[in-house]
Amino acid sequence: MSQPSLEKDTPGTGVREPVLQAKGLVKRYGPVTAIASGDLELYPGEILAVIGDNGAGKTSLIKALCGALIPDSGEILLDGKPVHFRNPMEARLAGIETVYQSLAVAPGLDIADNLFLGREERKAGVLGSVFRMLDKKHMRSEAKRHMSELGVATLQNIGQAVESLSGGQRQAVAVARSAAFGSKVVILDEPTAALGVKEGNRVLQLIRDVRDRGLPVILISHNMPHVFEVADRIHIQRLGRRSTVITPQSHSMSEAVAIMTGAAEPPPHVA
Amino acid sequence: MANDPPGGGATATATPTTDFDERPNATPLERVQHVLHANPLLGPLAVLIIAILAFSLASGRFLSAANLGLVLQQVTVIATLALGQTLVILTAGIDLAAGAITVFSSILMANIATKLGVPGVLALIIGLVLGTAMGAFNGWLVTRINLPPFIVTLGTLSIFFSLNSVVSRSETIRGSDMPAIMTATGSTAFRLGGFSVTWGSIIMLLMFAFFFYALANTAWGKHVYATGDDIEAARLAGIRTDRVLLSVYLVAGLIYAVGAWILMGRLASASPNVGTEYNLNSITAVVLGGTSLFGGRGLVLGTLVGALIVGVFQNGLQLAGVDVVWQGTAIGVLVLVAVGIDQWIRKVKA
């Protein structure tokens, strides 16, 4: 480890165990090193923003955490136990839900179908076991519940096709899906990138709601104002390794950008 | 955003609820677009009804029970093929080998029964298995070798038609030389006045009912739509898209093989020289039924309506005394309009 790990000043209570932890992950593609030393800690009930310049390895790091990439070496611990994800499905089954930048929603299917895509529920009894009939009623009411729990209250018609929704609404569906099924961690990749100001703010509110419901969130974003608005801690990735961890209180946006780009020396971990 | 529903965000921030509803007022044309988008069967049904009305005005014989029964018989084979074609097109694929699999399966069934002396029922089952295998071969090429469906089925179309000539030696086998079961699909199941329905039509309709159910009410159906809609998104959502695609081509092969049985009943023979137009006719029926060639959107019931539109036009133009050469033009214009409307509907605004 290149940095002394100081885990004392986490927000809230004193010393806490990270929910999700990466230790010394390495990923190389031939001569290209995507992750030189991937370290990351995510604590309960926090929003951890991961920022970094293009090519800093943040996407590779996140992909390793959500099973989309298998690191060459290093360790991932979920609740203190080592895990080895071979594909995104295994990470999901372990409780890590990821909202990809591409959203991974099927535009032609409705909101309820999308929430349950890949984990549809069948009816009980013969209808379900022999006729494979889906329990649409239950899935719809559950979908409705999840959406309203996140305060996305105006999506009255849960049977509405996702393609007829705005960008922010689609994002809300994707976030609701991750919050509904993520039992441990929710990872959001550039959730506000394609959105207008208003919708972006609403999605930020969604992210806070997810955290306030007890799910820790990893937020990957290029949008500094958004990061500084919602993050509890900010993990700065640079040249394939963790440069430092700061908080919105300890540093300004321009200082963060300076660290990110190498213009300023990274301070020791503040958070 | 007048009504702020209760609940909402737990944190104390400026926005109490996450309210995304800000649809601007739609123009009448946009409303039509929305209605068509929400009810994909509406367009095809309107075309079918208008066509029926127009042809009944043009010819007094058109609406007779006997003629309507004839239309149903005429569309049965194409509708069956179009059902399999619908499944493939829903996954954003296309099956150019649909007709070839159908005709080759019928030749195999008939030859196995007559040349090898296999009992009729067994010959049918072997033919169904072989047709399914041909579909699975397409699916294997699409998923394992990762070739585009258009190219795969263009290749297998050629292969199956050529093997068809080899096996059949370009000979037609008459229905009277086959076991009775092989042409039983052409016999009348029941009659309502002059309106007679063949067993083939009943089988076809049952298959439509089955796949209507499977697509709308099972996880497999949802996965077919999701895969066709956006395969990468489906994969990220945890769907095993390769399995979905393989299953679709395999099932399509089985449907075409059932179509082969229906075809022998309809023609009262097994002829290697039919079927060249079946591919495009099946695609026509799918497109007229409102299923999008870009995948992820469509209904098998639409395809049934689409097949009926083709049948009604062919039959109606004939009864109206229009030269048969104009049928193609009429159908072609319909196809172009249908695809144009589909493109327009797809651009529906949020």
Cβ contact (<8 Å) for B19 and A155? no
Which pLDDT belongs to residue A269?
78
Run of H or E including A105: none
More confident residue, B132 or A178: B132
List the single residue in A with minimal CA-CA distance to B292. Answer: A108
Show residues of chain B in contact with A172, CB under 8 Å.
18, 20
| pLDDT < 50: residue spans in chain A | 1-13
Which pLDDT belongs to residue B14?
36
Give A241-271 pLDDT, tens digit per residue: 898 999 999 999 999 999 998 888 888 877 6
Q: What percent of chain B has pLDDT over 70?
A: 92
Least confident of B14-18, B201-205, B305-309: B14-18
Cβ contact (<8 Å) for B20 and A149? no
ipTM of predicted complex: 0.77
Give B236-284 pLDDT, tens digit per residue: 888 899 999 999 999 999 999 999 999 999 999 999 988 778 888 899 9
The yes-or-no verdict on residue B215 having pLDDT over 50 is yes
Q: Is the pTM of this model over 0.90?
A: no
Cβ contact (<8 Å) for B18 and A169? no
Show residues of chain A in contact with B244, CB under 8 Å.
none
* B-proximal residues of A, 140-159, CB under 8 Å: 148-155
A166 touches chain B (CB under 8 A): yes
Please give, one letter per residue, the 3-state secondary structure of chain B.
Answer: CCCCCCCCCCCCCCCCCCCCCCCCCCCHHHHHHHHHHHCCCHHHHHHHHHHHHHHHHHCCCCCCHHHHHHHHHHHHHHHHHHHHHHHHHHCCCCCCCHHHHHHHHHHHHHHHHHCCCCCHHHHHHHHHHHHHHHHHHHHHHHHCCCCCHHHHHHHHHHHHHHHHHHHHCCCCEEHHHCCHHHHHHHCEEEEECCEEEEHHHHHHHHHHHHHHHHHHHCHHHHHHHHHHHCHHHHHHCCCCHHHHHHHHHHHHHHHHHHHHHHHHHHHCEECCCCCCCHHHHHHHHHHHCCCCCCCCCCCHHHHHHHHHHHHHHHHHHHHCCCCCCHHHHHHHHHHHHHHHHHHHHHCCCC
Do the beta carbons of residue B157 and residue B256 sit within 8 Å? no
